[in-house]
Structure 1
Amino acid sequence: MHDIRLIRENPVAFDAALGRRGLEPLSANILALDEKSRAIKTEWQQAQARRNEASKAIGQAIAAKDVATADALKTEVAALKERMPALEAEERSVGELLTALLAAIPNLPASDVPDGADEADNVELSRWGTPRDFDFAPQDHADFGPSLGLDFEGGAALSGARFTALRGQMARLHRALAQFMLDMQTATHGYEEMIVPLLVKDDALFGTGQLPKFAEDLFKTTDGRWLIPTAEVSLTNLVAEQIVPEDRLPLRLTALTPCFRSEAGSAGRDTRGFIRQHQFEKVELVAICKPEDSDAEHERMVAAAEAVLQALNLPYRKMLLCTGDMGFGARKTYDLEVWLPSQATYREISSVSNCGDFQARRMNARTRAEGAKQTMFLHTLNGSGLAVGRTLVAVLENYQQADGSVLIPDALLPYMGGLTKLQPK
């Protein structure tokens, strides 16, 4: 959500920032609704003041036995009483239109975010690790994975396309990855582990920006709740409608949860394999901090995600997303892209975003320094630390052997119960 006061003060800058997002100017429409809303409020306040004044004057007129004046005042008060509910309804209607307009506008990009139309304009910042030289043609995980326990047919039979069952040693590797990530983010990087609801109400998804714009990307239950697309929704909304004391900040939270996405906008993409699923697990990172700390917190969070890839010795590159490729709620985003040998390219495995006060305004999440009277909106950040399924794919492909087996990365051996490689069956 955007600060209407900033739009009033500098509509040209607001429209220029929207232009960087590829959007037409909107300040004129916003300010017209804002002016209308304020005019109605002013009229209502004047009507209320006049009603109170006239009501008092009626008693004085009666006391003075001025019947004509008293009757005229009564008529005026009755008209004001009839008009005021209509003004309230009109102001509410205009306010809802203004809120809906503001809620549909994405966050404004930070000044150091590069301009661009899509992922082709993202900027590569760095690379880590060297892609392995294979002495055989590396295979796609979708081809050799089934013999190791990736049961695409079983998942599809149960639930349809983009659902997969994992069997035996593959399920063990998936669990090992998730626990390793969670242990690293809590023990090494100081995130507090949480277990959060997987079903949330409308307000939670509005707060983090998925509603109303992206409802088609979500799964809704028959009782009106929603399956979370990411633990970001539950974790970030833990501070909704709260004033968090400044001395409690920053809050650094993490959770391993299933995530549910309809993938409505990805028809035809990654239809084979385990990369794009309707249900997957992810270790999510969320930080909630003072405004002046969010840039540093952003760098800290992306480093925490990078540390997982480095520990698993998976080559990756770090990208700064351009204005046309950032998510709706982000003001700045880094993507980590892991090397996949079968595709001879890097694919996204983590997205780490600084949302500024965009989500906090939607959630009414604030902080106040000790002794201060004024509150200020918090800054929120989120990122994957990491997506478990995509990391599983990266391990399978980068550690595959010519005989169809897959070596277990050293960092995962303590979690594998003595298993050192996946063997085809």
Structure 2
Amino acid sequence: MHSHPRLPPTALEDCYSDLRTDSPLDDNSMSRLGSEMRHGVTSVSNKPKSADAFFDAWIAHVNETAVYGKESIDPTRSTSYRFIWRSWCKYLASSQEGPNAPYTMANPLLAVPVDVSRFLASGMKGSKPGRAISDVTRRRYYSVLQRIYAFCASQAWMECSPLDTLAQQDIPMAEKHTGSILTPQQWDACTRRYGNPAGNTFEIRDHAILMLLFKLGLRPEEIRALRVQDFQIGIADMPTLRILPRSGPAQERTLPLDDQSAEAIQNWKRVRKDLAVVINTNKALQADFNDDRLRAASDTLFVTRSSMELAKVPLLNLVKAHIERSCSEAGLEMPVRMGPQIVRNTRLIIWLHSGLEVDAVAVMAGLKNRKGFLHLLDYCSESVKQKIQPYRRRDDDPVSVTNMLKE
């Protein structure tokens, strides 16, 4: 077995100096399992024979035991999990067999806490070359390894997970999912008026955009993707706005509009049709009606003076300027964030505390389920928290053999 160039010791490497380094599945340790089966495990499944087989066994276990609040992992969509595991095995193989050893030569069951510590400190490789490893990514690597090794220990393939005895200082900080919201005073100031509804052409546009953001909590990409035909006045003169899915079927929904929002959109449509950029796009489409790009562009609801697409930065600047102006005029402190997302977050919190069911708010917000509210948990009342908390984020849940055996 080749020696790997020694990495700089971690701050707490001394904590690991007395831990065993022999195989936890040698003949003696296996015979000691006896009838009690380590950690209360009552049966031992066949030990995988390769690094990939350990991962596949874990995926199969997760899907077999998935319960409420813990979703299964589609094996065909487990690329990010597998990348993390193979990155770890590649590091482990280099340490165990030499710098150029492929990940397939790793023996995951021989890993000890100091291996994990060094890997998290300096051994990870990003999926995109040259990009620094963030604290969030470090925590996610840790969480995936934690779950897989807890599973291995629960199967009595090893006495304990090397992550169970990792020194506290070597454990990456838990990922913080807290979003930001406007204070009630800031929200009131921002919603007293939405720009100038009787101003020039693009002030009329901005007025409509701000109303939709503050009243419907739309995502910025949803605002930018709206089409003229998505605004409808249906039966009994009920105005609605259809939101098409961008990255998942849950995002598709049809939302009712109040009279002020509907009027704001109608006012914008009246001036939009006379814009040179719209007229020129329609002429180009008439000349080449088979041009799908032109057809899609001609339908875009919110356009600029020179483009049929409202870009991200102008939208951000619009919202930021509105919040700054509103808070300044009201003599209020500026919020920590001033973009479309803080507006959406605040609207969701208002809905959650309005008496609406949490699942109804999720539908209105275009969320797959209640997990979409976890980043706002700190702003929720206790009664709302109790309805959201069962959907904890899987990859940041503390996992140990003991916890797995209780499930």
User: Which TM-score applies when normalising by structure 1?
Assistant: 0.20
User: Which TM-score applies when normalising by structure 2?
Assistant: 0.21
Structure that is richer in strand per residue: 1
